[in-house]
Amino acid sequence: MSTVPSDIEIAQAAKMRPIADVAAEIGLTPDEILPYGRYKAKITPEAAAKRPPKGRLVLVSGINPTPAGEGKSTVTVGLAQALRKMGKKVVVAIREPSLGPVFGVKGGATGGGYAQIVPMDEINLHFTGDFHAITARTTCWPPWSTITSTMATRSASTPAASPGRAPST
């Protein structure tokens, strides 16, 4: 009896296509994507705005995972694979996963088994850096609130901020 490889083994064995090739297949030029390495990218807002909406949107927004761990990401990827196998032009858009996988609290946001998005390790750990930006901003919040609080206190002592009058902007 053969053993099924783990998710990480399957992901590491996958042959990834450069994101520029994938983008070209759906009609995007190199100027219309913002690459994050060779295999990940965001679509520019301008590229999205100049294309009229067409096709169908399937939103997988909530599901209880199975005991095997199949949840929203696995359903999304599996559905996209099935539609592509039927000859449909398919694009999957996923958001950056929470930091749960980093701390072993939950599964990743890349699916599982042979229905997963690669590079799973990069996606689950850092993806495009958005979470790092949010974390950095949140870390800066306490000093920022002290500065804004001080500014508000100082402006409250001016005549424009006296009771019954809205402060000028």
| pLDDT tens-digit readout, 49-61 | 998 888 888 888 7
Mean pLDDT for 26-55 is 89
Mean pLDDT for 9-25 is 89
**What distance lies between CA 9 and its chain's CA centroid?**
23
Q: Mean pLDDT lowest for which of 5-14, 65-74, 85-94, 108-117?
A: 108-117
Please say if the pLDDT value at position 44 is more than 90. Answer: yes
Characterize the bridge pairing of strands 111-112 and 115-116: antiparallel
Please say if the pLDDT value at position 38 is more than 70. Answer: yes
What is the identity of the amino acid at 64?
N
Separation of alpha carbons 116 and 127, rounded Å: 15
Res 99: pLDDT: 60
CA dist 68 → 8, 74, 80, 103, 123 (Å)? 15, 11, 20, 19, 21
- The DSSP code for 126 is T
**What's the number of CA atoms in the CB half-sphere (13 Å) around residue 6?**
4
Res 161: pLDDT: 46
CA dist 77 → 36, 91, 121, 142 (Å)? 21, 10, 16, 40
Separation of alpha carbons 19 and 38, rounded Å: 6
Please say if the pLDDT value at position 91 is more than 80. Answer: yes
Res 45: pLDDT: 92
Return phi, psi of residue 136, to 5°.
-60, -40
Q: Give the pLDDT band of residue 28 (cuts 50, 70, 90).
A: very high
Rg (CA), the chain: 23
Res 55: pLDDT: 84
Res 2: pLDDT: 76
Res 155: pLDDT: 57
